[in-house]
Amino acid sequence: MNVVATCDNWGVPVAPEPVIPLVRTQRISSLDGLRGVAALVVVIHHALLVIPTLAQPYMAGYAPVDGVYGWLLYSPLHLVWAGTEAVYVFFVLSGLVLARSVIGNPHFSWLAYFPSRLVRLYLPVAGAVVLAALSIAVVPRVGDASLWVLFHPSEYPAATFLKDLVLVEGTSNVITPLWSLQWEVLFSLLLPVFVIVARGRWLWATIAVSLVLTTLGYYTGVLFVAFMPMFAIGVALAFQWDRVEEAFRGITGRRAGWLVWPVILIVAGLMLCSYWLLFPYAETGMLTTATRPVILVGAVLAVLAAALWEPLRRVLSSRPIQWLGLISFSLYLVHDPVVVAFAYVFDGSRWAVPFAIVVSIAVAVAFFLVIERPSHRLSQSLRRALARREGGL
């Protein structure tokens, strides 16, 4: 009987135990750390949007902003709170990690995968939806606030509550991060299609087509076309991972090769915040379309650097960052209601920002222990049981 250690696409490790092997590919721990950093960036992003000066350009178009806020908005410092861009990193990571769980695993069971995956995603989402409803009941959403805070409904009617539980029919704005979970669920359901399409050796063609489709999706407003190719790039990378590693080893092994990864990381950062660097100089609609493929390439480069550049791998594999990766899914799900609640408690004060971040992390830890970890264990138990059943047929 083999001993296998697995993790899911939000970086939750599972202790090794004798089971029917489900995942044979080695986990890349630095990607867990990258996921944790990206989740923290999303939290900082939403916390800073309680400040009216920072929220106005996001919600209503360009506004001239000076001083520290101007630097946070329109300079590379925006990378610290580039929340939307961090979600693109999540999408690429999901494609990469889920596909790696399938590749080279003769014992992988689609019968076991689908129900366990849905349990893994939906139970924590249900917990987050209940938490949001409780936060509205405890802290009424009434008073002056930034445009982003006011974007959140002040009530959670039953129809909206159910919509957020289902996800695939779209989500409300009560918990804004749920918009990405809609696409995460759809990708999870369509994973067999992605695996079949990506089995060829056309990595660069897949990336090129995905970038074109993403741009087209944003231009036409068809969000399925805009977001699904982001997952496809991750799946394609998974199938060609050995070739990618070999190619970068060849590049970095040359003279002055030590410069390659620092340059790649700088370029990735600039690409990720390209929309905001150009925001003061271009019309918003066209800029959104034009910069999406640029941002997506930046996300891919960030993932590659996190997985392949040894100094960055060590940082992302350190205990504090790994701990952040461990709670990243919980942090992503629960922080939004906490941030909005503090925005009203502090009545628009900037003090809401640090309190919201600290309390969001604390709530995420509790949520992980009470909701997410048991959900993950149930998901793994269900997967093992179904895999055994299929093996016995």
Higher per-residue pLDDT: 261 or 12: 261
In this structure, is the dihedral angle defined by the CA atoms of residues 252, 257, 258 and 262, taken in order, positive or negative?
A: negative
Report residue 257's pLDDT band, with 50, 70 and 90 as the boundaries.
confident
- Closest CA relative to residue 37, chosen from 277, 305, 259: 305
Q: Is the pLDDT of residue 318 over 80?
A: yes
Question: What percent of the chain has a predicted confidence (pLDDT) above 90?
Answer: 72
Query: Angle at Cα 107 formed by Cα 103 and Cα 113, nearest 5°?
Result: 80
Q: What residues pair up with 14 in beta bridges, in sequence order?
A: 6
Which tens digit of pLDDT belongs to each residue from 133-176? 999 999 998 888 999 999 999 999 999 999 999 998 889 999 99
Number of domains in the chain: 1
Its domain, for residue 88, covers 3-392
Report residue 391's pLDDT band, with 50, 70 and 90 as the boundaries.
low
Q: Is the pLDDT of residue 270 over 60?
A: yes
pLDDT computed for residue 392 by the predictor: 53
Q: Is the pLDDT of residue 302 over 70?
A: yes
- Closest CA relative to residue 174, chosen from 144, 146, 140, 151: 151
Distance between CA 90 and CA 73 in Å, rounded? 22
Q: Residue 220 has which token pair?
A: 């036409």
Place of tokens 């461990």: 326
Distance between CA 358 and CA 362 in Å, rounded? 6
End-to-end Cα separation, the chain, in angstroms = 19
Which tens digit of pLDDT belongs to each residue from 182-217? 999 999 999 999 998 888 778 889 899 999 999 999
pTM of full prediction above 0.85: yes
| Mean pLDDT over each residue of the chain, to the nearest integer | 89
Distance between CA 41 and CA 361 in Å, rounded? 12
Question: Is the separation of the CB atoms in 25 and 104 below 8 Å?
Answer: yes
- Closest CA relative to residue 309, chosen from 257, 234, 231, 242: 257
Q: Residue 54 has which token pair?
A: 């920072």
